[in-house]
């Protein structure tokens, strides 16, 4: 597997995953988070935002350096966790479950491509 297999549609999924991870971090930051945990969350948010902004300027996987690719993989893993939580919540109808599973599978596939 190689990065050449990552399509424009995949890159849109990456941006969505990073934005979802940023939204989740924002939600966590509104809670009573202090000290080291708060610093870690702000650091991840900053990294995700920088990669998102770079992808807005040039939506190609090749525009990212190795560190940024690692950040993308982390954001995808965060998104997979969020999707798992959503699936386990029992709040989805059958159509929404299928859609959520499809997005989760795409995120997992992208993590595999980035790890390859």
Select the CATH number that applies to the domain covering 3-115 from these four: 1.10.10, 2.40.170, 1.20.1260, 1.10.3470.
1.20.1260
Would you state the structure tokens that stand for residue 84, as one six-digit string? 């798992």
Domain ranges of the chain: 3-115
Q: Tell me the per-residue pLDDT of 24-76, one tens digit each, with 9 for 90 and over.
A: 999 999 998 889 999 999 999 999 999 999 999 998 999 999 999 999 999 99
Q: Tell me the per-residue pLDDT of 91-115, one tens digit each, with 9 for 90 and over.
A: 999 999 999 999 999 999 999 988 8
What b/e string do you get for 71-88 counting C-beta neighbours within 10 Å, with b at 16 or more? bbbbbbebbbebbeebee
């Amino acid at each position: 597997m190689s990065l050449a297999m990552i399509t424009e549609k995949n890159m849109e999924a990456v941006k969505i995953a990073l934005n979802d991870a940023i939204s989740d971090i924002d939600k966590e930051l509104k809670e009573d988070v202090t000290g080291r945990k708060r610093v870690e969350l702000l650091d991840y948010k900053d990294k995700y935002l920088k990669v998102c902004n770079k992808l807005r300027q040039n939506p190609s996987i090749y525009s990212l350096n190795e560190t940024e690719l690692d950040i993308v993989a982390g954001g995808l893993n965060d998104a997979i966790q969020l999707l798992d939580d959503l699936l386990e919540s029992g709040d989805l109808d059958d159509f929404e479950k299928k859609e959520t599973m499809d997005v989760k599978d795409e995120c997992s596939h992208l993590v595999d491509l980035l790890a390859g």
